Amino acid sequence: MASLEGKKILLGVTGGIAAYKAADLCRQLTRKGCLVRVVMTRGATEFVSPLTFQALSGNPVHTELLDSDAEAGMGHIELAKWPDLILIAPATANIISLYAHGQASDLLTTLLLATQSKVAIAPAMNQAMWRHPITQLNIAKLRDSLAGTCEIWGPGEGAQACGDTGPGRLLEPEELAHRVVEFFDNKNLQQNKKTDLTGTRVVITAGPTREAIDPVRYISNHSSGKMGYALAAAFSASGAEVVLVSGPVDISAPMGVRCIQVTSACEMLSVAEEAVSDGCDIFVAAAAVADYRVETVASSKMKKKGDSDLVLKLCQNPDIVASIAAKPDKPFVVGFAAETNDLLAYAKAKMEKKNLDMIIANDVSKKGIGFNSDRNAVHVLCREQMVELPEQSKAALSQKIVEIIAARASQVAPGKSV
């Protein structure tokens, strides 16, 4: 895990009720060793006093575009050159719109245009505002126009201050602080890469799938997608072109990675097959795909009928990794085996049965690793060898896995761009 000691974070706070959470975020970042400077919009100062952030960060708070106390009065230029990362939390619909359209109406929006630092946006607004087509267009514009330089972190989903429930909540300060750690983990991967995969095209599946029962309920699992996303970041840091086919997760795609969102196993298979057909050297099936789906999905919410039990008829989902591995001109195919017992035996059997080139096995029964954890420990199995990788952060683990995959793939498929 990357050290945040001495990392320079510019925290932009805008005028939403979630501004109070930014104070806790500032505290957490400084405790992790970050140097934090805070820029507040005028609206933000109506919710939280600048003095609060000054006390928490140990630095003066910036609110005005033309600051007579700054060198030559050009505070925005000084600030724009300073940070390793700019984090806007909370980011209102207004600041997102201004940024997407290149407006420079105050200090915060001006420095966003003047900076060459990476930017992370943490949205926070009413669920209807978040769902509004214009807000979604602005988010898409930032993702497309600033791919590789701007990430969207969140929003979360749940009860809101206005009484509504839905997407639009600011991610909790602990989660945002964790995202900052992940950001510098990924940055370290890019700076310290040992494998050059320039010209290699990689397709990765990640996260869970959701299989609908009715419009309200679904079958799924505990996968967070963190391992698949960490692998996507590691492949991208090594120079590969990465397509990430992701089930429903609460994670932003790594910078430079093309992410395609899907819901069900059938959708994931269709998108994965299309991505592979467009050209693929390495396919990594890190998603936790539901083995079964409901045979007939109800068109309306199913009501409880007295004391009667509910019986659902399930049918098997397609096997995504086996389908890709069965193609005549298949890429180098890597599968995952998440088991609770007989780990190596099940993993070897799965590799043979599905014609995989490699399989990564992890014991999800162990506390503190695997599903929903930031750490993992795995065994990487090929037909002739096995490598055990001890418990470590998923970011560090992914870098080692990518090195192993690259080395093995170049032996198995020397004609491929690996």
Among 150, 10, 178, CA closest to 84: 10
Give the residue numbers annotated as catalytic, written as ranges.
162
Stated length of the chain: 418
Q: Do domains 8-185 and 195-412 have the same CATH topology?
A: yes
Rounded CA gap, 110 and 276, in Å? Answer: 42
| Per-residue model confidence (pLDDT) at position 364 | 84
Rounded CA gap, 267 and 247, in Å? Answer: 9
User: What CATH class has 195-412?
Assistant: alpha beta
Concatenating the DSSP letter of every residue in 106-165 gives SHHHHHHHH--SEEEEEE---HHHHHSHHHHHHHHHHHHHTTTTEEE---EEEE-TTS-E
| Per-residue model confidence (pLDDT) at position 245 | 98
Rounded CA gap, 356 and 339, in Å? Answer: 17
| Per-residue model confidence (pLDDT) at position 73 | 46
| Per-residue model confidence (pLDDT) at position 195 | 75
Domain boundaries, the chain: 8-185, 195-412
Q: Which CATH number describes the domain made up of 8-185? A: 3.40.50.1950
Residue ranges, the chain, pLDDT below 50: 1, 71-74, 414-415
CB count within 10 Å of CB 389 equals: 17
Q: At what angle do helices 226-237 and 173-191 cross, to 10 degrees?
A: 30
**pTM of model > 0.85:** no
